[in-house]
Amino acid sequence: MKTMIDKLKETCDLTDDEFALLLGELSPEDTEYLFAAARDVREREYGKDVYLRGLIEFTNYCKNNCYYCGIRCGNRNAERYRLTEEQILSCCEQGHALGFRTFVLQGGEDPYYTDECMVPLVAEIRKRFPDCAITLSIGERSRESYQALFDAGADRYLLRHETANEQHYAMLHPPELSIRNRKECLFILREIGYQIGAGMMVGAPGQTTEYLIDDLRFLQELRPHMIGIGPFIPHKDTPFRDEPRGSYPLTLRLLAILRLMFPKVLLPATTALGTIHPLGRENGVLAGANVVMPNLSPTNVRGKYLLYDGKICTGDEAAECHSCMERRMEYIGYQVVNSRGDSKIE
């Protein structure tokens, strides 16, 4: 197994059969060897720096009815909200004062936020915070919309593909959604000039090792600047409420594999990882991640943006999230930096 890990570190690729072995059960010794290889590559490219992203969850309305998501339009128990432009800008002001240099505006696919709403908002954030990166995570839109938002000042766009396998995608989503359109959006975003982020759920209902390998191959084709993965966590108001959580050890192994495949990628240790294990984000960084995403949303709405059950940090103030993350990273020998943290991928 160590020979295979060395091969991945050297060539950034393996055969499907070799990936299947790495995604299977590993001995504790082989697992630590994999993590050490990932840390070595991560520190070669990015040192000990950990980049902060200030997450602003500005709407939990969504027109889609994805079967795994707590803010799906079919969830009548969700308490819906939308932040005003003034509230969003206030989150940015507070985050900037704390040292955040990337803002991530994330929401459901809310028809209320047309280009007429979003373009002036992005332009205002760019005007007020010229030293910051603006990341959007607002789903599938037209090429024209993506272009207008880019022209207004957006730098990055996160659009997790969730699963690259067409059959599996159809199992997780209603018929009006397709992986073909999802992928097309990602390639359009890259063509326009965004730094793009994709990624998949780990342990989603029906997922197989073969499907995960499909994800790895799609990411090789896409060459994203960021890859966000996290374990599937069920939500009580979805059809998958009784499905088991995704595997924590497998998620960590995938982070390490992705670091070795894409040495320069920005790789978050996600909130979902921290939700299923109290040291999830720390161990994610020790497996090769180099980004964490504290929440800048107003505390009175954090408990309403619940894609899954049990989400952590819903009651903390932004300053608490920032200082907590600094301490957590320092404890494992890494350092939070006040930087845009741009990807090194062309």
Least confidently predicted of 2-16, 116-130, 206-220, 307-321: 307-321
In three state form, how does the secondary structure of 13-53 look? Answer: CCCHHHHHHHHCCCCHHHHHHHHHHHHHHHHHHHCCEEEEC
Q: What count of residues does the chain have?
A: 346
**pLDDT tens by residue, 183-198:** 999 999 999 999 999 9
pLDDT band at 18 (very low <50, low <70, confident <90, very high): very high
Model pTM above 0.75: yes
Percent of the chain whose pLDDT exceeds 70: 100
pLDDT band at 86 (very low <50, low <70, confident <90, very high): very high
- The residue assigned the tokens 């309305």 is 61
> What is the pLDDT, as a whole number, of residue 87?
97
312 pLDDT more than 90 = no
Helix, strand, coil percentages, rounded to 5, for the chain: 45, 15, 40
CA distances from 147 to 121, 154, 189, 277 (A): 15, 9, 8, 39
75 pLDDT more than 90 = yes
Q: What is the mean pLDDT of the chain?
A: 96
Q: What is the mean pLDDT of residues 115-127?
A: 98
- The residue assigned the tokens 């993590």 is 35
Rounded to an integer, what distance in angstroms lies between the CA atom of residue 120 and that of residue 127? 10
Nearest Cα residue to 96 out of 342, 338, 343? 338
pLDDT band at 166 (very low <50, low <70, confident <90, very high): very high
pLDDT band at 80 (very low <50, low <70, confident <90, very high): very high
